[in-house]
Structure 1
């Protein structure tokens, strides 16, 4: 799965002021863990694709070599290429098992999402950073909660030190907004922004699932046709084994990307967030606001929690 950075840019314009909480204005630990997650994701996907591609190349060259016994030079050349491809796949697999980039991806994303939820709760004066707390107490509690998030990371997981402040001036400025302004901003940028993100990603994953499923069906049909041709002695090349290897590789890639699971999960989250947005419109006072933000953040983070469980639990089982 290509799990890209969700919208984190918060902008609201007024007649006399403009306040933007951009990516650079988020807590330093958020940016550090987000970068670690993005790097781990790219490495995992790249290496996984290299491993599967090497296996497919090995199948192709091995098939050609086996069909070139009458031509010794071609037999040896493609045989050597098949060995090199298998060795390449083995090396990449060892690198994946040694460096485990997927763990940096998963746990970095977990930290980033948790810190983002804390950030929104802080700037919205929501529980546990309510309006009755002094700015100093709210700051101290925010930093304490970040320490708790970092303390929950599995042993051995590396999170680079952040260079920026954990509570930025923009965060403090947004926290001082009036209730009406904070409500408008939260509904527009946090709730609606996430709703639109999940809706787009649900459609994107559904489309990709259909494309890859069509490719698999076409290859399986081709493999069946080639097998019939070989049984009928119309073809000397043992191509059905090659097609089977390609189908297996694409099936493995399909499983890594989890298009179907993500499409369903994202669509469900988008639907839930549309209900959350409707509830938010009826919140009329700051007393109810804190509870609303808490429920909204739970809805937003629920999908990520389920995503992380789907990713991590199979590895724990292994």
Structure 2
């Protein structure tokens, strides 16, 4: 049985944009974490009296300002979103080519298939925002933007092999990924909700204790800052929204898997195109949920 396409088997434009997206995601998440932690630290030092606390408060605000300016200047979230869009577009083209999906059916002359594939990748590169590419031996005008040997080898196999590889290493892998992410995001959404409720309860208790002069510093203000940071983090990660979206995507892919198992060679090219459209649609919804254009 032929193995599926690994990341190294995809065109260089995929690896370049994938690297850019992952780097952008790491930078944006780290920057956001620091921004939220510094906001909580500011609330802590603001609740404590004394000159030392005031000095620490100034330092914290300066650090928070630096982080905010860096995020505004670098815009790592754009590399995350745009890089992921380019990577997924390249990946879907690669799978269509490798298994004979439209617009690259196996009965098409190889010269025409190569021309179509090459032209489409060139379009992706021309339209790619600068932040969506990272160095992997590829520039915007040169590099490996043609089909790889692994893609061509898979394309040359008989129909049953191509169908089995596509079902197992594309549809089933995506289905498993969505199902796993749906479960994880749903569990995290519930955990965050319970945590925020607990913090709100502690905030009420802290306010009452201060009203009774049992607690003399602003513990409620600190808890409010923690609550705000937790709410902002949950909004960034979108656990509940992604849990529902990934559940729907996994269900849709399960239906597609069943349909593809009974697809004959005559309708295979279009069925693959429809399956890839379904996968692309989920990613478009993900980008829209994050405000990416």
Question: Could you tell me the TM-score, scaled by structure 1's length?
Answer: 0.87
- Unaligned runs of 5+ residues in structure 1 are 1-12, 66-74
User: How many residues get paired?
Assistant: 287
Q: Which residue matches 1:160?
A: 134
Distance in structure 2 (CA, Å) of the matches to 1:210 and 1:87: 35
1:112 positional shift? 0.3
1:78 positional shift? 1.2
Would you say 1:292 and 2:271 are equivalent positions? Answer: yes
Of the candidates 78, 103, 108, which is equivalent to residue 133 of structure 1?
108
1:132 positional shift? 2.5
| Corresponding residue SS for 2:104 | coil
1:212 positional shift? 1.5
| Corresponding residue SS for 2:48 | helix
1:40 positional shift? 0.3
- Unaligned runs of 5+ residues in structure 2 are 138-142
Is residue 101–residue 273 contact of structure 2 (8 Å, CA) maintained in 1?
Answer: yes
- 1:101-116 correspondence to structure 2 within 5 Å: 101-116=76-91
Distance in structure 1 (CA, Å) of the matches to 2:42 and 2:32: 15
Q: Which residue matches 2:205?
A: 225
Would you say 1:50 and 2:49 are equivalent positions? Answer: no
- 1:127-206 correspondence to structure 2 within 5 Å: 127-154=102-129, 156-160=130-134, 162-163=136-137, 165-166=144-145, 167-206=147-186
Distance in structure 2 (CA, Å) of the matches to 1:165 and 1:171: 13
| Corresponding residue SS for 1:126 | coil
C-alpha distance 208-19 of structure 1, shift in aligned 2 (>3 A):
closer
1:136 positional shift? 2.2
Would you say 1:247 and 2:227 are equivalent positions? Answer: yes
1:146 positional shift? 1.0
Q: Which residue matches 2:140?
A: none
1:22 positional shift? 2.2
Q: Name the stretch that deviates more: 161-170 or 198-207.
A: 161-170
Q: Which residue matches 2:93?
A: 118
- CA deviation digits over 1:124-178, x for unaligned, max 9? 1111111222222211211111122233334x54523543633211111001011
C-alpha distance 185-150 of structure 1, shift in aligned 2 (>3 A):
same
Q: Name the stretch that deviates more: 165-174 or 289-298.
A: 165-174
Distance in structure 1 (CA, Å) of the matches to 2:132 and 2:212: 58
Of the candidates 14, 29, 52, which is equivalent to residue 13 of structure 2?
29
Q: Which residue matches 1:279?
A: 259
**CA RMSD between the two structures:** 1.5
